[in-house]
A and B are shown apart, each in its own frame.
Chain A
Amino acid sequence: MTQQAQPILQVRNLVTRIGGKRGFGNAVDDVSFDLMPGETLGLVGESGSGKSMTCLSVLRLTPPAATHITGGQVIFDGEDLLRKTGAEMRGYRGRRISMILQDPMRALNPVLTVGEQIFESLRLHRGLRGAALREAACELLERVRIPDPAAGLTAYPHHFSGGMRQRVVGAIALAGNPDILIADEPTTALDVTVQAAFLDLLKSIQRQDRLGILFVTHDFAVVSRMCDRVAVMYAGRIVETAPTDMLFDRPRHPYTESLLRSVPDVDRREERLYAIPGQPPSVFAPRTGCPFAPRCPRAMDRCRQETPPTRRLDDGHEVSCWLHEE
């Protein structure tokens, strides 16, 4: 990990509004983070905390009917993606920024061959045709360690197992030689052993390509294995960002603390799981103060009235909590 390098992706004060019959609210609320080349940034939080919406916002692929990116900047390689036209934006997707989706069983088009789905990206992003196209596709399948790549090209997705399909999705994502890979819970739907193999593969590819990975997950085991730094999301906001070791050793936000305590610890063989009392707030609920305050064991009056700003602490943590105001 290079500390001096410029971040490849800087997200600043991103706000994505979501609306529908049930009301309006910020699915992504004032989110900021950096991603360095070759670095893996974990994005963790409960389901519904806005992790996926943040990823889709970076690619500007949030559902158009229900959502709208209303503010902030997504600076990629020095340029603000939010100011790009639709056509310009397409030039980034798949070529500079790729994505791996959660469920490999459903992420591939069932009626197109695996080959065709890889060819599409190669034609689009590398302008390949004919024999060169097939060769490049085979190379990609080899890179993601799919046995017998030539046969794989003519197969349909349903011929593959879940783990193999996720590798195909990975191959598609790598087709454009991207700088960033957004992985939205890529292993959640996989068996544990398959999971480990896929994560190793991702790591090795990352080392070869100096790929920046934005890794969404709610699994702390995966976080400790994959991520250099972690950002914890709650109710659309990032409440704490820290290098992985430090976050685990010394969580500074009460929510991170609770979250870590709710993880079953295999070593300590704890029988009881700590559960955070209460429910995360609805996106559509009106907001005042810190969104975690109603569930926070250490909430103060101030927490319920004012939203805490994000502060950088001496130990490298960035925390948004009034406890660290002094």
Chain B
Amino acid sequence: MTRLILSRLVQALATLLVTSLIVFVLARSSGSPADLVLPTDATPAERALYIERMGLDRPIAEQYLIFLRDAVQGDFGVSIRTGAPATELVFDRVGRTLLLATAGLAVALLISLPLGVMAAVHRGRGWDRFSMGFALLGQSTPAFWLGIVLILIFAVWLRWLPSSGVGGWQHYVLPSLVLGWSISAGIVRLLRSSMLEVLDAEFIKLARTKGLREPVVVWKHALRNALIPVVTFIGFMYGVIIASGVVIEVVFGWPGLGYLAYESTLWRDFPVLQLSVLVYTAIIVGINFLVDVSYGLIDPRIRT
């Protein structure tokens, strides 16, 4: 177990390091990073100072080490747009992004657990086709477009829900619905095949001979077992939701990390964009690491 944790930890750190390297190289692939990182109205003196500080006149390997040294100390430069440290801007937004992603995951579970179970229980019949079709439709709908359509219907025409921004629970409804539905197909499919396998098991037969009601047999005895392979997948889907939330945040004007990254591209605010990418990667890699490590906790057979 310790070996597993260690190797996964190394892998997670390696992914982060590679990401930083990619961003670093890309920043230098388009001419001088000074153009990217400094405001357009920077004086030649400011320019010279930056080149000196980042060692832009030194070999590229050394430049990367300087970048890493600053990064470890939490220095990612200042925002071109506002002049505030990039770290301040970015960490201000992380919480909202995680909140929205969590709401999206909750919706995904609310959709896919019943659909996956019903599809398996009514295999080959109406419920099965409906579940798979509904999930497939969600997977086939471009999330950003669905967001716009829902805004049009519920905010513009019906005026039931807000179209953008943060506030009460109403602000969560549309974006989390879009996020959740778009990723539910994979969970439904996996849960269905997992349930089909479990429903054939001997202990399900025994549960029925005990006189248990069918809902108890399905939702307690079968689902708990069927969820074991699905839980890991759901953990990874959390990372997927966080990443795909970028577009949703833009559509719904949700002031999270994704919207910040998007704005940064419009303003060519590279320091902020660079840090956003690193933070996104760190969050997703971190989640995957936790999922990997906690896998053993779900299954009592592995737990002991």
Contact = CB atoms under 8 A, between A and B. Distances in A.
Nearest to A158: B301
Interface stretch (A72-80, A92-100, A204-212, A308-316): A92-100
Interface residues of B, number: 23
Nearest to A116: B220
Interface size class of A (residues with CB under 8 A): 20 to 34
A112 B198 CA distance: 14
B203 A94 contact: no
Interface string A29-62: 0000000000000000000000000000001010
B254 to A, nearest CB: 38
A101 B205 contact: yes
Interface of B is mostly: helix
Given A106-B201, A110-B225, A159-B304, A61 B208 contact: yes
A85 to B, nearest CB: 13
B210 A106 contact: no
Contacts of B207: 109
Contact of A93 (B201, B202, B209, B299): B209
A158 B300 CA distance: 9
B300 A156 contact: yes
A266 interface: no
A120 B213 CA distance: 11
A9 interface: no
B205 A124 contact: no
Contact of B211 (A92, A156, A169): A92
Contacts of A156: 300-301, 304
Contacts, number: 81
Interface in A74-125: 90-95, 98-99, 101-103, 106-112, 120-121, 124-125
B13 to A, nearest CB: 34
Nearest to B221: A109
Contacts of B304: 156, 158-159
Contacts of B210: 93-94, 98, 120-121, 124, 172, 175-176
A103 B299 CA distance: 21
A106 B300 contact: no
A111 B211 contact: no
Nearest to A55: B209
A13 to B, nearest CB: 24
Q: Which residue among A94, A108, A169, A173 has the maximum number of chain B CB atoms within 10 Å of its CB?
A: A94
A101 B211 contact: no
Given A110-B300, A111-B300, 9 more contacts: A90-B213, A93-B209, A94-B210, A101-B202, A101-B206, A102-B202, A109-B224, A111-B299, A124-B212
5 contacts: A94-B210, A102-B202, A108-B206, A156-B304, A175-B210
Interface of B: 123, 201-203, 205-213, 216, 220-221, 224-225, 228, 299-301, 304
